Amino acid sequence: MSEVKDPKCHALLGSLSDYVDGTLSEELCVEIDRHVAECQDCHIVVDTLRKTISLYHDSASGNLECPEAVRERLFKTLNLNDYIRH
């Protein structure tokens, strides 16, 4: 990609986020699909970028609660002790 200096690879870079999010126009999408099928480096960048985003996304799916002690101090700071649920 950066090494090859193919202008197509460079043009792809700016649209990558929209491409992996699926928010790109169909026309552009088809064009990029075609390029990625031919260019191994771009193919790798797209696959590993998708994986990077999904890893971070998945890492957030658990632990939605803050630690109990932190939560207790928060309620205390806000003078909401009467309402804390255990």
Partner 1 sequence: MVESKTEISVEALRSGNREEFARMVDAYSGPIYRLALKMLGIPADAEDVLQNTFLKAFQHVKDFEGRSSLSTWLYRIASNEALMLIRKKRPEVTLSDISPENDDNSDYSPAQFIDWHPLPEAEFLSSESQSIMDSAVQHLPENQRIVFILRDIEGLSIQETGEALNLSEAAVKTRLLRARLRLREELSVYYGERLKKGEKNERG
Residues of this chain that bind partner 1 (CB under 8 A): 1-2, 10, 13-14, 16-18, 40-41, 43-45, 47-53, 55-57, 59-60, 63-66, 70-71, 73-75, 77-78, 80, 82-85
In the complex, minimum distance from the CB of residue 4 to partner 1, in angstroms, rounded to a whole number: 10
Nearer to partner 1, 25 or 48 (CB): 48
Q: Whose structure tokens read 């590993």?
A: 48
Tell me the backbone φ, ψ of residue 71, rounded to 5 degrees. Answer: -65, -40
In the complex, minimum distance from the CB of residue 26 to partner 1, in angstroms, rounded to a whole number: 19
Tell me the backbone φ, ψ of residue 61, rounded to 5 degrees. Answer: -75, -25
Question: Which residues, other chains included, contact 53 with Cβ-Cβ below 8 Å and sequence gap of 6+?
Answer: 20
